[in-house]
Amino acid sequence: MTYSVFNPEPSIPVVANVPHASSAIPDEVRDQFIISDQQLHEEQRLLVDWFTDELYAPIQRAGGCIVRHGVSRFVLDPERFEDDSQEVMAARGMGALYTHGCHRQEIRRQLSAAEREVMLAKYYRPYHAELISRVSKTIERFGRCFVIDCHSYP
């Protein structure tokens, strides 16, 4: 699964979105990256939202639901628009599928349209569907839902 849900039956009307906590890069996509493991590790060091699981754990303990993306934002960033023409960060190589790193250097080979579609179908759309489902179920149950977008900051 490309995401995790914690406390799927919340007792309070809160859904937390944790999109960038993971540093996981599945073996089947590692060959898309044209940088060394060390360079990729450095990119991850700079952009993963480290410790967001711990920072936002009180939401779950208080009874809220947490939806956590399961792969690194370098694999796919679920907080970008799926369509690069709508995503301002795509011009910097940081659309839904990152092609460039923190210093605007190329980090990923050009993906075919079919490869891009596979990535979106596997890592983007299921996460969004789950998040939308959790918010909808929370609204049905409580009549409202407070969504918290969970990040960490340097």
The side-by-side arrangement of strands in the sheet containing 3-6 is 3-6, 65-69, 14-18, 146-149
Asked whether residue 2 carries a pLDDT value surpassing 90, the answer given is no
List the helix and strand counts (H, then E) for the chain: 6, 4
Pick the closest to residue 81 from 43, 128, 48, 114 (CA basis): 128
CA distance 141 to 138: 5
Is the C-alpha dihedral spanning 135, 98, 89, 46 positive or negative? positive
The per-residue pLDDT for range 14-33, each reduced to its tens digit, is 999 999 999 999 999 999 99
According to the model, what pLDDT value does residue 132 have? Answer: 97
Q: What is the mean pLDDT of residues 91-113?
A: 96
Q: Which amino acid is at 38?
A: Q
Asked whether residue 1 carries a pLDDT value surpassing 70, the answer given is no
According to the model, what pLDDT value does residue 99 have? Answer: 97
Query: Which pTM value belongs to this model?
Result: 0.92
